[in-house]
Amino acid sequence: METPITFSCPATLNKLLVCTDGSPESQGAIAAAFNLGQACGSKIHLIQVVQSVFEYESWPGMIADRDQKALSYLEAWKVEATKLNLDLATNMVFADTPYEGIIEEAKKIEPELIIMGRHGGSRLYRLAMGNVTARVISHSSFNVLVVPKDAPLDFKKILVATDGSPYSYAAWSEAKHLTQRLGSELIVFCVVDHELETERAEKICAELKAEADREGIGLEPLILHGFPPEVIVQAARGKQAGLIVMGALGFRGVKSFFMGSVTERVIAQAPCCVLVVRRLLK
Protein backbone atom coordinates (compact mmCIF):
# COMPACT_ATOMS: atom_id res chain seq x y z
CA MET A 1 0.00 0.00 0.00
CA GLU A 2 1.43 3.35 -1.04
CA THR A 3 0.98 6.06 1.60
CA PRO A 4 2.52 9.29 0.30
CA ILE A 5 3.22 11.80 3.06
CA THR A 6 1.87 15.25 2.24
CA PHE A 7 2.34 16.91 5.63
CA SER A 8 4.78 17.32 8.49
CA CYS A 9 4.15 15.75 11.87
CA PRO A 10 1.14 17.65 13.29
CA ALA A 11 1.78 16.89 16.98
CA THR A 12 3.62 14.61 19.38
CA LEU A 13 2.12 11.27 18.42
CA ASN A 14 4.21 8.59 20.06
CA LYS A 15 1.44 5.99 20.00
CA LEU A 16 -1.51 5.55 17.65
CA LEU A 17 -4.35 3.11 18.15
CA VAL A 18 -6.05 2.08 14.91
CA CYS A 19 -9.26 0.07 14.89
CA THR A 20 -10.28 -2.16 11.99
CA ASP A 21 -13.10 -4.60 11.36
CA GLY A 22 -11.47 -6.05 8.26
CA SER A 23 -13.75 -4.14 5.89
CA PRO A 24 -12.63 -1.97 2.94
CA GLU A 25 -14.19 1.02 4.74
CA SER A 26 -11.71 0.72 7.59
CA GLN A 27 -8.68 0.84 5.31
CA GLY A 28 -8.80 4.65 5.23
CA ALA A 29 -8.11 4.68 8.96
CA ILE A 30 -5.12 2.41 8.48
CA ALA A 31 -3.80 4.57 5.64
CA ALA A 32 -4.13 7.68 7.83
CA ALA A 33 -2.29 5.94 10.65
CA PHE A 34 0.51 4.86 8.32
CA ASN A 35 0.89 8.43 7.06
CA LEU A 36 1.01 9.80 10.59
CA GLY A 37 3.38 7.03 11.63
CA GLN A 38 5.79 7.92 8.83
CA ALA A 39 5.60 11.64 9.58
CA CYS A 40 5.88 11.35 13.37
CA GLY A 41 7.78 8.10 13.93
CA SER A 42 4.80 6.76 15.87
CA LYS A 43 4.32 3.29 17.27
CA ILE A 44 1.14 2.04 15.60
CA HIS A 45 -1.15 -0.39 17.40
CA LEU A 46 -3.58 -2.01 14.96
CA ILE A 47 -6.40 -3.95 16.58
CA GLN A 48 -9.32 -5.94 15.31
CA VAL A 49 -12.06 -6.57 17.85
CA VAL A 50 -13.65 -10.00 17.62
CA GLN A 51 -17.08 -9.86 19.16
CA SER A 52 -18.32 -12.73 21.28
CA VAL A 53 -21.36 -14.27 19.58
CA PHE A 54 -23.42 -16.76 21.54
CA GLU A 55 -24.60 -18.61 18.41
CA TYR A 56 -20.99 -19.45 17.50
CA GLU A 57 -20.25 -21.29 20.72
CA SER A 58 -21.66 -24.55 19.39
CA TRP A 59 -19.82 -24.15 16.09
CA PRO A 60 -16.08 -24.32 16.85
CA GLY A 61 -15.27 -24.58 13.15
CA MET A 62 -16.90 -21.23 12.45
CA ILE A 63 -15.02 -19.64 15.34
CA ALA A 64 -11.69 -21.01 14.09
CA ASP A 65 -12.40 -19.76 10.57
CA ARG A 66 -13.38 -16.31 11.83
CA ASP A 67 -10.30 -15.99 14.00
CA GLN A 68 -7.97 -17.18 11.24
CA LYS A 69 -9.37 -14.60 8.83
CA ALA A 70 -8.79 -11.85 11.39
CA LEU A 71 -5.22 -13.02 12.06
CA SER A 72 -4.45 -13.24 8.33
CA TYR A 73 -5.81 -9.74 7.79
CA LEU A 74 -3.66 -8.29 10.56
CA GLU A 75 -0.60 -10.19 9.32
CA ALA A 76 -1.05 -8.72 5.84
CA TRP A 77 -0.87 -5.22 7.32
CA LYS A 78 2.30 -6.15 9.21
CA VAL A 79 3.87 -7.02 5.88
CA GLU A 80 2.85 -3.62 4.46
CA ALA A 81 4.19 -1.83 7.53
CA THR A 82 7.54 -3.59 7.20
CA LYS A 83 7.86 -2.33 3.61
CA LEU A 84 7.44 1.22 4.92
CA ASN A 85 9.74 0.74 7.93
CA LEU A 86 6.85 1.39 10.30
CA ASP A 87 6.72 0.18 13.89
CA LEU A 88 3.45 -1.77 13.87
CA ALA A 89 2.02 -4.05 16.55
CA THR A 90 -1.16 -6.01 15.85
CA ASN A 91 -3.63 -7.58 18.22
CA MET A 92 -6.89 -9.49 17.94
CA VAL A 93 -9.07 -8.35 20.84
CA PHE A 94 -11.97 -10.40 22.18
CA ALA A 95 -14.83 -8.44 23.74
CA ASP A 96 -18.58 -8.51 24.21
CA THR A 97 -18.94 -5.40 22.06
CA PRO A 98 -16.50 -3.64 19.70
CA TYR A 99 -16.51 -0.35 21.58
CA GLU A 100 -15.70 -2.06 24.90
CA GLY A 101 -12.74 -3.82 23.31
CA ILE A 102 -11.45 -0.57 21.82
CA ILE A 103 -11.80 1.34 25.09
CA GLU A 104 -10.02 -1.35 27.09
CA GLU A 105 -7.13 -1.44 24.63
CA ALA A 106 -6.90 2.35 24.70
CA LYS A 107 -6.60 2.25 28.49
CA LYS A 108 -3.68 -0.20 28.18
CA ILE A 109 -1.89 1.56 25.32
CA GLU A 110 -2.67 5.20 26.24
CA PRO A 111 -2.35 6.51 22.67
CA GLU A 112 -2.31 10.16 21.78
CA LEU A 113 -4.89 9.37 19.10
CA ILE A 114 -7.47 6.69 18.28
CA ILE A 115 -8.13 6.34 14.55
CA MET A 116 -11.34 4.77 13.27
CA GLY A 117 -13.01 4.32 9.90
CA ARG A 118 -16.52 5.20 8.83
CA HIS A 119 -19.04 3.01 7.05
CA GLY A 120 -21.44 5.49 5.47
CA GLY A 121 -23.82 8.36 5.99
CA SER A 122 -27.24 6.75 6.20
CA ARG A 123 -29.52 6.88 9.21
CA LEU A 124 -28.91 3.15 9.70
CA TYR A 125 -25.17 3.83 9.78
CA ARG A 126 -25.62 6.56 12.37
CA LEU A 127 -27.48 4.13 14.60
CA ALA A 128 -24.69 1.58 14.19
CA MET A 129 -22.06 4.24 14.74
CA GLY A 130 -23.79 5.14 17.97
CA ASN A 131 -22.79 1.71 19.22
CA VAL A 132 -19.14 1.97 18.22
CA THR A 133 -17.53 5.29 17.25
CA ALA A 134 -19.86 7.49 19.27
CA ARG A 135 -19.49 5.27 22.32
CA VAL A 136 -15.72 5.26 21.99
CA ILE A 137 -15.80 9.05 21.85
CA SER A 138 -18.19 9.27 24.79
CA HIS A 139 -16.45 6.75 27.07
CA SER A 140 -12.79 7.27 26.18
CA SER A 141 -10.59 10.14 27.30
CA PHE A 142 -8.53 10.06 24.10
CA ASN A 143 -8.89 12.08 20.92
CA VAL A 144 -10.55 10.24 18.04
CA LEU A 145 -9.86 10.75 14.34
CA VAL A 146 -12.68 9.45 12.13
CA VAL A 147 -11.67 8.75 8.52
CA PRO A 148 -14.35 8.29 5.82
CA LYS A 149 -13.64 5.75 3.12
CA ASP A 150 -11.24 7.11 0.47
CA ALA A 151 -10.85 10.44 2.30
CA PRO A 152 -7.18 11.48 2.49
CA LEU A 153 -5.79 12.98 5.68
CA ASP A 154 -5.17 16.59 4.69
CA PHE A 155 -4.20 19.46 7.02
CA LYS A 156 -4.10 22.22 4.40
CA LYS A 157 -7.50 23.64 5.35
CA ILE A 158 -8.79 23.12 8.88
CA LEU A 159 -12.33 23.95 9.96
CA VAL A 160 -13.39 24.20 13.58
CA ALA A 161 -17.01 24.43 14.75
CA THR A 162 -17.59 26.26 18.02
CA ASP A 163 -20.32 27.56 20.30
CA GLY A 164 -18.14 29.04 23.02
CA SER A 165 -18.50 26.04 25.34
CA PRO A 166 -15.44 24.52 27.07
CA TYR A 167 -15.68 21.47 24.80
CA SER A 168 -15.66 23.46 21.60
CA TYR A 169 -12.96 25.77 22.97
CA ALA A 170 -10.74 22.71 23.40
CA ALA A 171 -11.36 21.95 19.71
CA TRP A 172 -10.50 25.55 18.85
CA SER A 173 -7.25 25.33 20.82
CA GLU A 174 -6.31 22.10 19.04
CA ALA A 175 -7.11 23.58 15.63
CA LYS A 176 -4.91 26.60 16.45
CA HIS A 177 -2.08 24.30 17.47
CA LEU A 178 -2.31 22.35 14.21
CA THR A 179 -2.47 25.56 12.19
CA GLN A 180 0.60 27.03 13.86
CA ARG A 181 2.57 23.82 13.47
CA LEU A 182 1.60 23.07 9.87
CA GLY A 183 0.87 26.49 8.38
CA SER A 184 -2.70 25.47 7.61
CA GLU A 185 -5.57 27.72 6.59
CA LEU A 186 -7.96 28.03 9.54
CA ILE A 187 -11.69 28.70 9.37
CA VAL A 188 -14.00 28.89 12.38
CA PHE A 189 -17.75 28.24 12.22
CA CYS A 190 -20.11 29.87 14.71
CA VAL A 191 -23.44 28.14 14.09
CA VAL A 192 -26.82 29.80 14.65
CA ASP A 193 -30.18 28.09 14.22
CA HIS A 194 -32.29 30.90 15.69
CA GLU A 195 -32.15 34.62 14.94
CA LEU A 196 -32.03 35.52 18.64
CA GLU A 197 -28.67 33.74 18.90
CA THR A 198 -26.95 35.75 16.16
CA GLU A 199 -25.56 38.36 18.54
CA ARG A 200 -23.97 35.71 20.75
CA ALA A 201 -22.47 33.92 17.73
CA GLU A 202 -21.02 37.22 16.45
CA LYS A 203 -19.44 37.82 19.85
CA ILE A 204 -17.87 34.32 19.93
CA CYS A 205 -16.45 34.72 16.43
CA ALA A 206 -15.09 38.19 17.25
CA GLU A 207 -13.37 36.91 20.39
CA LEU A 208 -11.74 34.04 18.51
CA LYS A 209 -10.65 36.35 15.69
CA ALA A 210 -9.03 38.70 18.21
CA GLU A 211 -7.25 35.76 19.87
CA ALA A 212 -6.00 34.52 16.52
CA ASP A 213 -4.76 38.01 15.59
CA ARG A 214 -2.80 38.25 18.85
CA GLU A 215 -1.10 34.96 18.05
CA GLY A 216 -0.39 35.83 14.44
CA ILE A 217 -2.82 33.29 13.01
CA GLY A 218 -4.80 34.11 9.91
CA LEU A 219 -8.45 33.26 10.58
CA GLU A 220 -11.63 33.34 8.53
CA PRO A 221 -14.63 33.45 10.93
CA LEU A 222 -17.99 32.41 9.51
CA ILE A 223 -21.44 32.66 11.04
CA LEU A 224 -23.64 29.89 9.70
CA HIS A 225 -27.43 29.89 9.96
CA GLY A 226 -29.38 26.65 10.05
CA PHE A 227 -29.42 23.20 11.59
CA PRO A 228 -25.85 22.84 12.93
CA PRO A 229 -24.88 19.41 11.54
CA GLU A 230 -26.20 20.21 8.09
CA VAL A 231 -24.64 23.66 7.75
CA ILE A 232 -21.29 22.46 9.09
CA VAL A 233 -21.16 19.63 6.54
CA GLN A 234 -22.31 21.92 3.72
CA ALA A 235 -19.69 24.52 4.62
CA ALA A 236 -16.99 21.86 4.79
CA ARG A 237 -17.90 20.77 1.27
CA GLY A 238 -18.02 24.33 0.00
CA LYS A 239 -14.66 25.20 1.53
CA GLN A 240 -13.13 21.87 0.44
CA ALA A 241 -11.98 21.17 3.98
CA GLY A 242 -9.30 18.62 4.70
CA LEU A 243 -10.13 18.33 8.39
CA ILE A 244 -13.01 19.29 10.69
CA VAL A 245 -12.14 19.72 14.38
CA MET A 246 -14.92 19.45 16.96
CA GLY A 247 -15.41 18.90 20.67
CA ALA A 248 -16.81 15.61 21.94
CA LEU A 249 -19.64 17.61 23.47
CA GLY A 250 -20.77 21.16 23.13
CA PHE A 251 -23.19 23.36 21.26
CA ARG A 252 -24.73 24.35 24.56
CA GLY A 253 -24.00 28.06 24.39
CA VAL A 254 -25.71 28.77 21.09
CA LYS A 255 -28.18 25.93 21.43
CA SER A 256 -28.48 22.92 23.70
CA PHE A 257 -27.21 20.01 21.63
CA PHE A 258 -25.44 16.83 22.67
CA MET A 259 -22.89 14.57 21.05
CA GLY A 260 -25.45 12.41 19.25
CA SER A 261 -27.21 15.22 17.42
CA VAL A 262 -24.28 17.39 16.32
CA THR A 263 -20.80 15.86 16.41
CA GLU A 264 -22.16 12.41 15.62
CA ARG A 265 -24.17 13.65 12.65
CA VAL A 266 -21.22 15.65 11.33
CA ILE A 267 -19.04 12.55 11.58
CA ALA A 268 -21.63 10.48 9.70
CA GLN A 269 -21.94 12.93 6.79
CA ALA A 270 -18.64 14.82 6.60
CA PRO A 271 -16.76 14.71 3.29
CA CYS A 272 -13.42 14.74 5.12
CA CYS A 273 -11.74 13.47 8.26
CA VAL A 274 -13.11 14.65 11.62
CA LEU A 275 -10.95 15.08 14.71
CA VAL A 276 -12.92 14.89 17.96
CA VAL A 277 -10.95 16.51 20.75
CA ARG A 278 -10.97 15.16 24.29
CA ARG A 279 -7.51 16.36 25.31
CA LEU A 280 -5.00 18.78 23.78
CA LEU A 281 -2.07 17.36 21.84
CA LYS A 282 1.42 18.75 22.30
Q: Which of 104, 127, 147 is the last residue of a domain?
A: 147
Who has greater pLDDT, 43 or 149? 43
Asked if pLDDT for residue 281 goes beyond 80, the answer is no
pLDDT at 51: 75
**pTM for this prediction:** 0.88
Q: What's the Cα-to-Cα distance from 189 to each of 137, 226, 244, 248, rounded to whole Å?
A: 22, 12, 10, 16
Q: What is the pLDDT of residue 165?
A: 79
The pLDDT tens digits of the residues spanning 142-165 come to 999 999 888 999 999 999 988 877
In terms of domains, do 35 and 106 share one? yes
Residue 85: phi and psi, rounded to 5, are: 60, 40
CA 219-154-232 angle, to 5 degrees, is 55
In the chain, the number of structural domains is 2
Q: Return the closest-CA partner of residue 168 out of 198, 218, 204, 221.
A: 204
270 and 226 in one domain? yes
**Cα dist from 48 to 4, 73, 142, 198, whole Å:** 24, 9, 18, 45
Does the pLDDT of residue 282 top 70, yes or no?
no
CATH assignment at residue 118 = 3.40.50.620
- pLDDT category at 200 given cuts 50, 70, 90 is confident
- Structural domain includes residue 174: yes
Q: Are residues 161 and 139 in the same domain?
A: no
Q: Are residues 108 and 176 in the same domain?
A: no
- Domain extent, residue 59, equals 15-147
pLDDT in tens, 9-34: 999 999 999 998 888 888 899 999 99
Cα torsion for 260, 264, 266, 267, to the nearest 10°? 180
Are 168 and 89 members of one domain?
Answer: no
Q: Is the distance from CB of 175 to CB of 245 less than 8 angstroms?
A: yes
Measured distance CA(229)–CA(222) in Å, rounded: 15
